[in-house]
Amino acid sequence: MLPTSATRSPGLGAYEFGSPAARPRRTRRGSNRFFPTYLRRLFSIRQMDFEVALWEMFYLCISPDRVYRNIKYHKQTKNQWARDDPAFIAILFLCLTTSAVAYGVVYSVGVLGMLRLILWMVFVDFLLVGAVVATLLWFVTNRFLLQHNPHSAQQSVEWAYAFDVHCNSFFPMFLVTYVLQLFFIPIVVRNNWISMFVGNTLYLAATSYYVYITFLGYKALPFLKNPAIFLYPIGVLVLIYIILLFANVPIAQRILGAYFT
């Protein structure tokens, strides 16, 4: 079962499902308060529930649909789809920082090099790319995929939820392309077909799983139509993978070269 915590955010509060406070009219005011409260909690360890975040990370790797089955409960109790607890992101920051230090040691880049790696991995690889992806999917879902039901209040995808989906999808990809790849460096940097195959397969597996978890994230929203379109990029990824193999383009080697040359 999902771990629970008695910790509550004083800024967000809990909304009882079906009460007037839980009706759609509070959405804009609630969203205006969400980000300041969220950022404030990011710097308060006592207000973060790391047990739940670690539970989610574990099941994102072995059974991601189980994580998304708890979203409706969260919506009913907090009247929002997005997380109000930044513990998941805080752990991701720590993981990326540790990964940057490990790569810095392997490639002997020095302290300044490690700091640059940390900044790049956290603020570019994770936050900037995540914000772009979340914004794109937030726009697409709200513009083209909303179901219009005249008998119920109109709902829309929260930007914070779109970023949550990115965070969920990013973690397993991080384990493959940052952690697992670290142990495969002696293989993927070699100039032979087997090394290229191993490196390219790592990136195909990681990006395909990212797409799959993204699909599950939007499939969990009952007011979206045809969420299966989020699976279509997997076919494109497989095609690119095959083309790159025949073209002898080693993705892992190229990416590592871009970071450390």
- In this structure, what token pair is assigned to residue 33? 């308060």
Q: Quick one: what percent of the chain has pLDDT higher than 90? A: 72
Q: How confident is the model at residue 3 (pLDDT cuts 50, 70, 90)?
A: low
Share of the chain above pLDDT 70, in %: 85
Burial (CB < 10 A; 0-12, 13-18, 19+), residue 153, is: exposed
Which of 10-14, 142-146, 154-158, 244-248 shows the lowest per-residue confidence on average (mean pLDDT)? 10-14
> Given this model, what pLDDT does residue 65 score?
93
Give 38-82 pLDDT, tens digit per residue: 777 777 788 899 999 999 999 999 999 999 988 777 777 777 888
The mean per-residue pLDDT over the stretch 174-193 comes to: 98
Residue 176 DSSP symbol? I
Give pLDDT, residue 71: 79
Q: In the prediction, which pLDDT does 141 show?
A: 98
pTM exceeding 0.95: no
Q: What is the pLDDT of residues 152-173, one digit of tens each?
A: 777 899 999 999 999 999 999 9
From residue 177, give the alpha-carbon distance in Å to each of 28, 97, 184. Answer: 38, 14, 10
184-230 pLDDT, tens digit each: 999 999 999 999 999 999 999 999 999 999 999 999 999 999 999 99
239-254 pLDDT, tens digit each: 999 999 999 999 999 9
Nearest CA-CA partner of 206 in 179, 178, 176: 176
Domain boundaries defined on the chain: 86-260
Average pLDDT, the chain: 87
Give the alpha-carbon dihedral of 97, 100, 106, 110, to 10 degrees.
-90
Alpha-carbon span 198 to 68, nearest angstrom: 31
> Quick one: which of 184, 174, 210, 190 has its CA closest to 100?
174
CA 38 – CA 160 distance, rounded (Å)? 10
Given a contact cutoff of 8 angstroms between Cβ atoms, the answer to whether 167 and 225 are in contact is no
Cβ-based neighbours of 222, under 8 Å, separated by 6 or more: none
